[in-house]
Amino acid sequence: MNTQNKTLITVVGPTAIGKTSLSIKLANHFNTEIISCDSRQFYKEMSIGTAVPDPDELSAAPHHFIQNRSIFEDYNVGDYEKDALQTLDKLFQKHDVVIMVGGSGLYVDAVLKGFDDFPKIDSNIRVQLTEELHTKGLPYLQEKLKELDPDTYKSIAKDNPQRVTRALEVCIGTGKTYSSFKNKTKKKRNFHSLKVGLNGDREKIYDRINLRVDLMIEAGLIEEAKQLYEHRNLNALQTVGYRELFSYFDGTFTKEFAIEEIKKNTRRFAKRQLTWFRRDQETIWFDFQSDIKEIIKTIEEKL
């Protein structure tokens, strides 16, 4: 279908900044639906640690790609790009505007710009690398990546085990560098794109993150992680909030230290998110405390 007159409004920003709340307000204003591009919220076994929208939020506007997958499925950004575009095609048949929200920059770019085409990799390679991650540590994998693909080693978020593991998967599985598959011609989209970013003073962001982690612990994050502990080698669980608690269950961390590590690593994650999203000069930024009327007025002027 021709969706040239349709617009995808994307809400981005660091974790805990209020993206979910804003996306619902925008969806209600434009009488439309929301697709999530938060790669941690896809998985139905992970609720508390991924800050999935609560039942009231989910009922306030139709949501897509929330807890629609299992941690036991092999699901990557390329799969998401295809699924999200198919969903958008259907949503644009009944809406002129659709809202996309999430903090996963790679997944945002996949929908808006297209993702680089990577060949299918033997799943046993990921299993082996994940085992090495747990037995030998992230520095071991970082050194392996440095040896196999120096360009990617320089540019990748090296403290993100999923990114390092994925790059190594491609290097080992294809015999070529991960970087050789990057930066191909981007695909054209048949809809308009408008990106809205939320930000705030660093200390306020960090305070919100610390509070969110405390609330997650109160809501039962430790118990949720305990139920997932036996599956800790799965790729979906290589994420902040779970890794630290797995180390607590292993006896490596005390409970108090694990909680502080979650806060620290989430703050680092927020910093990486902002670095990623700030690359796009066309993003319209607002303070997270901005009046919704001001945000809507600005958006409508751009539509």
Report the alpha-carbon distance of residue 258 to residue 242 in Å, rounded.
Answer: 10
In a domain, 257, yes or no: yes
- Contact of 85 with 111, CB cutoff 8 Å: yes
Banded model confidence at residue 122, pLDDT cuts 50, 70, 90? confident
What range defines the domain where residue 176 resides? 123-181
The answer on 172 and 222 residing in a single domain is: no
How many whole angstroms separate alpha carbon 270 and alpha carbon 282? Answer: 20
- Do residue 136 and residue 269 come from a single domain? no
User: Considering the domain boundaries, does residue 1 fall inside one?
Assistant: no
Question: Which region among 37-51, 58-72, 133-147 has the lowest average model confidence (pLDDT)?
Answer: 133-147
Residue with tokens 């204003």: 29
Compute the distance between CA of residue 17 and CA of residue 289 in angstroms, rounded to an integer: 9
Positions at the binding site: 13-20
Could you tell me if 206 and 220 lie in one domain? yes
Residue 1 has a pLDDT of: 46
Averaged pLDDT for residues 17-44: 97
C-beta pairs of 65-68 under 8 Å, 24+ apart in sequence: 65/35, 65/36, 65/37, 65/41, 66/36, 66/41, 66/42, 67/41, 67/42, 67/43, 68/42, 68/44
CA nearest 112: which of 239, 12, 1, 33?
Answer: 12
Under the banding of pLDDT at 50, 70 and 90, the label for residue 99 is very high
Average pLDDT of the chain?
Answer: 92
* Domains identified in the chain, total number: 2
Residues 242-291 have pLDDT tens digits of: 999 999 999 999 999 999 999 999 999 999 999 999 999 999 999 999 99
DSSP 8-state class, residue 191: S
Domain boundary among 181, 204, 231: 181
Q: Give the integer Cα–Cα distance in Å for 237 and 40.
A: 9
The whole-number pLDDT of residue 4 equals 65
The secondary structure of 62-110, three-state, reads CEECCCCECCCCCCCHHHHHHHHHHHHHHHCCCCCEEEEECCCHHHHHH
CA distance linking residue 193 with residue 207, whole number of Å: 31
What's the pLDDT at 128?
A: 87
Contact 168, 140 (CB under 8 A): no
In 3-state terms, what secondary structure has residue 11?
strand
List the beta strands (DSSP E) in the chain: 7-12, 34-36, 63-64, 97-101, 192-199, 284-287
> 225 is written with which tokens?
């992680």
90 and 16 together in one domain: yes
Cα gap 164→145, rounded to integer Å? 7
146-205 pLDDT tens trace: 999 998 898 887 888 878 988 998 899 988 898 887 766 667 899 999 999 999 999 999
Q: What is the pLDDT of residue 243?
A: 95
Spatial contact of 102 and 112, defined as CB atoms under 8 Å apart: no
Quick one: 195 and 176 in the same domain?
Answer: no
Q: Which residues are annotated as a binding site for substrate?
A: 15-20
Burial (Cβ within 10 Å: 0-12, 13-18, ≥19) of residue 219: middle
Q: Considering the domain boundaries, does residue 2 fall inside one?
A: no
Same domain, 77 and 189: yes
Whether residue 107 lies inside any domain: the answer is yes
Neighbours of 132 (CB within 10 A): 16
Please report which confidence band the pLDDT of residue 239 belongs to, taking 50, 70 and 90 as the band edges. very high
Can you tell me the mean pLDDT for 229-240? Answer: 92
Query: Do both 40 and 156 map to the same domain?
Result: no
In this structure, which amino acid lies at residue 255? K
Annotated binding site for ATP: 13-20
202 and 268 in a single domain? The answer is yes
Shared domain check, 214 and 110: yes
Tokens at 178, concatenated: 């991960």
pLDDT of residue 214: 98
CATH number at residue 129: 1.10.20.140
Establish if 151 belongs to a structural domain.
yes
For CA atoms 115, 116, 118, 123, give the dihedral sign: negative
